Chains A and B, each alone.
Chain A
């Protein structure tokens, strides 16, 4: 199973399409790794600089209808080769979502209110997530950067536990590492 823990990249937009994730001109590459420098190259998002902001991130959080557009599996692959195995959003385009699970990656839907809360609490901070696949929960943590803590515990850590759901089928793909072997054995 792939790794679903690490630093979070917040992309504060809906309808991020697959042309933005990996432009068509790179579809001539014949290895996944060749896609690495071009992830999110064409995204329209103020204040986001793909050259700087992707490095070191393992999880993406975005708004609704993530991955709409073309069927290119290059989109999940471009994330994968950058060490990003999971996207959390309030909604996904069908093909992108299926492609993620078919690759043993995760595309997890959370409701709008929860996504809102995550953006409000964590988007401007150095945030990490830990994914507990058995309990089906995400644990988000961040420093309350530069703020002086006034609660008596003295804790300077922002922490939020969020339950999530994926179907039994999706889980089996994540565990099996993909759909090809599963189908070849079964059908």
Chain B
């Protein structure tokens, strides 16, 4: 019987099945940030269990509120910082080097195909873009992860989401339509609990064509449909993204392989093929069993936007045209990566945002920020009238750097439109960076010029 990606990963990490439908699996990485981890740390200390299972497998970042905005958030940072020092956790990213967790950890090469990862953060599903099983957990699960390197999950079932474009069959998205629109459309279709306890396995020509940045956007919002994780099969796009981190391994492996053949010259191409071959252990079998299959045809897909307090309340931007906004936010683990900034900048170039709108952009990591500087993207944002903040979650969860006032409306590239999410009494409309940039210029929700029917 064939297996899904998640089943293959679970098989490779199985530790125990203490009760029928529960699998305890070993973890390759435990990610931590300063909002949910300090309580786990203080609880472990109170239990006399201030230990970590393997400091090299723990990665930590201060990202939600940074720089600290008050004494309480300063203390959360301090608890995490002291803990990282105490346990010699060397991959700890403090101010100056810190960025949004789900952007910085992949960028540092901490996610690999076939990995198992947990974090005290629901959008941990983002890392499934690399063919990993990555899931958000609460503080207690996080504590056990830190202490023992294991986590318990219900037996995984997957939903196959096959995404294609019936026009031309090329796998391209229509012009001006992005991964964000694809995932909003899917959530609108299945609902906010349509995938509860399931893994969403994304496949098909559109997914194969997507860059890693786009795949991360896609997997990021799997949890908005209730899913445990999103996941994409690893392929050459994955290998290329990870190449700087894995090339030494595969080049030397390839070198060894070539010795017999009287050749010392290793071409990068065959080393990459080797990596791909290796990762293909985590591609799904053709006869894998899925709890259901969803076919998505993107040929008619339009840019979308949410209209209520739930991420499955989705409409075409065209139907929301003219909706008043007070703030535009471009950033977050959903859409704060370089490609997102590039797309927004291509629309903002040479233009000014409306006088009635505040524009805030948070590049998701220092590396993204610095590349955006080099490419002139930051200048475009600033000339257009945006405030450019340091890399942080900040406004996304209404804790700092752009909190809304009661009654205000935000056009946002983030992932949650819950009531009060970006500030009590505030309204959030989720959309792609292209739609957000175009809306900033007009001062109301509107389609970008990149999209035309």
Contact between chains at B19 and A167 (CB < 8 Å): yes
A-B contact pairs, 23 of them (CB 8 A): A15-B192, A15-B193, A19-B420, A20-B420, A24-B397, A28-B65, A68-B193, A70-B397, A71-B120, A71-B122, A72-B36, A93-B193, A94-B196, A95-B122, A99-B141, A168-B20, A180-B47, A180-B140, A183-B144, A184-B49, A184-B144, A186-B16, A186-B18
A17 close to B47 (CB less than 8 A): no
Question: Chain B 6-37, CB within 8 Å of chain A: the 1/0 string?
Answer: 00000000011011111010000000000110
Contact A167 B21 (CB under 8 A): yes
B125-150 interface bits toward A, Cβ cutoff 8 Å, 1 = contact, 0 = none = 00000000000111111011001101
Given that A20-B419, A187-B148 are contacting pairs, would A25 and B398 also be in contact in the complex, using a CB cutoff of 8 Å? Answer: yes
Does B296 sit at the interface, judged by CB under 8 A?
no
* B148-A184 in contact (CB<8A): yes
Write the nearest CB–CB distance from B23 to chain A, whole angstroms.
11
CB distance from B332 to the nearest CB of A (A): 13
- Give the Cβ gap from A81 to chain B, nearest Cβ, in Å: 13
B66 to chain A, nearest CB (A): 13
Interface residues of B (CB under 8 A from A): 15-16, 18-22, 24, 35-36, 38-39, 42-44, 47, 49, 65, 70, 72-73, 75-76, 120-122, 124, 136-141, 143-144, 147-148, 150, 152, 154, 192-193, 196-197, 226, 228, 309-310, 397-399, 416, 418-421, 424
Residues on A close to B: CB < 8 A? 15, 17, 19-20, 23-25, 27-30, 42, 44, 64-65, 68-73, 76, 91-96, 98-99, 102-103, 167-169, 172, 178-180, 183-184, 186-187
Cα distance A64–B312 in the bound complex, in angstroms: 15
**A95 to B22 alpha-carbon distance, docked (Å):** 15
Bound CA–CA A98/B22 (angstroms): 12
> Are A19 and B418 closer than 8 Å at their CB atoms?
yes
Is there an interface contact between A71 and B21, defined as CB atoms closer than 8 Å? no
User: What residues on B are CB-neighbors of A44 within 8 Å?
Assistant: 309, 419
Q: Which of A24, A68, A168, A179 has the most CB of B within 10 A?
A: A24
> Closest 10 CB pairs between A and B?
A99-B138, A102-B140, A73-B138, A65-B193, A169-B19, A73-B139, A28-B72, A42-B420, A71-B136, A71-B122
List chain B residues, Cβ under 8 A from A94: 154, 196-197, 226, 228
